[in-house]
Amino acid sequence: MKALAAGVPHESLVGILIARGWPEKEVYDALADHYQRLTGVDIPRHASAGASAKEAFFYLLTFSTLATWTIGLGCLAFALIDRWIVDPLFASYRQAFDTYTIPSSLAAILVAFPIYLLISRTVVREMVAHPEKLDSPVRKWLTYLALVIAASVFMGDLITALAFLLRGELTSRFLAKSFVVLVLSGGVFYYYFGGLRKTDAASAPLGRDKLMAALSSAVVLLMVILGFSHLGPPGLQREFRADSQRLHQLYDLSTQIKNYWGTHNSQLPANLDQLPGSAPTDPITRAPYEYHPKQDSQYELCAVFTRNSEPELGPSSDPWVHPAGRHCFPMNASALPQYPPQYFGD
């Protein structure tokens, strides 16, 4: 403090110390202690200054929910694109992809997005009330870490879309998926890179945040409506799932009948009780399936279905296409039937 006593301006002293590698905060803390001893007046410390566990918690929760709902939104958009732009060469992949992607994506969005908005609003209000938090090391480190993770995820999505293009997928599907990736990644980077610039964040934080919140809410609401329009209510999905389980149980029965035919000198069983183990029953009504042996290796398996099957998920020659209600499938014990597809409805 001899330099101050010698008349050196404290601005020059601060600049010299910072140039020699001293942290700016420590320099000003030392000056505060000096003036406190000199004047005898206590200089109180701001209670919210500096990093804190609470601040780290809010930012970690913000970025974890951001990752959850943006990944869910991207997966939902990919699934809808696959349904809108149908590629018959990738139909089997689409069936497996859609089975769980749309429900799980909608669940991720519906849970994570409201939490993200609530926590983000709290963080923005804290920064407006305490502008010094814009320089928080916790905020900057966690923001850059989240941007790295976001870049990795979106790059992985783009690589996946390009890989399917190189495998022969329609170019229009690749362009649509690339647009989704660019919009999501561009929105995240625009918002958080802009927030890292102190001048932009301090000038109009609420206006920019309100605009991004409104845009993201509108996009999420639109995608959720589109997702439910394709998925249907839970009751409808339960009906499709029950029909799918009936098809697979009939397939298992046909496999057992074929094995019986091969081990009993090309003879059909007289009834299902002659098959090893207990015969499966309807998953809802618990009623046994109907079995009608015909001539030679021909027989029928019958079940009562809740809804029509989806013809778009398979060719017209699909042996498992069925109407709603009771339907019988003609079978041949000398050959194993085609494995039934997963019917879960639009």
pLDDT at res. 346: 40
Name 305's bridge partners: 325
pLDDT at 290: 95
Single-letter code of the amino acid located at 154: F
44: left (phi over 0), alpha (psi -120 to 50) or beta: beta
Coil vs helix vs strand at 279: coil
Per-residue pLDDT of the chain (346 residues; tens, 9 = 90+): 566 666 667 677 777 777 777 777 777 777 777 777 777 667 666 554 445 777 888 888 999 999 899 999 998 998 888 888 877 666 544 444 456 788 899 999 999 999 999 998 888 887 777 776 777 777 788 888 888 887 887 888 888 888 878 877 788 888 898 899 889 888 888 888 777 765 444 444 556 788 888 999 999 999 999 998 888 777 777 888 899 899 999 999 999 999 999 998 899 999 999 998 888 999 999 999 999 999 999 999 999 999 887 654 444 567 888 899 999 999 999 988 888 865 544 4
Predicted confidence at residue 124, as pLDDT, reads 82
Q: Nearest 5°: phi and psi at 325?
A: 100, -165
First to last CA, the chain: 76
Tell how strand 298-305 and strand 325-332 pair up. Answer: antiparallel
Residue 255 is predicted with a pLDDT of 93
* Nearest Cα residue to 34 out of 10, 11, 66, 69: 10
Q: Is 308 exposed, middle or buried (0-12, 13-18, 19+ CB in 10 A)?
A: middle
pLDDT at residue 108, rounded to an integer = 95
| Global model pTM greater than 0.85 | no
Please give the distance of CA 222 from its chain centroid, rounded to a whole number: 16
Q: How far apart are CA 295 and CA 330, in angstroms?
A: 12
Q: CA-to-CA distance for 264 and 272, rounded, in angstroms? A: 15
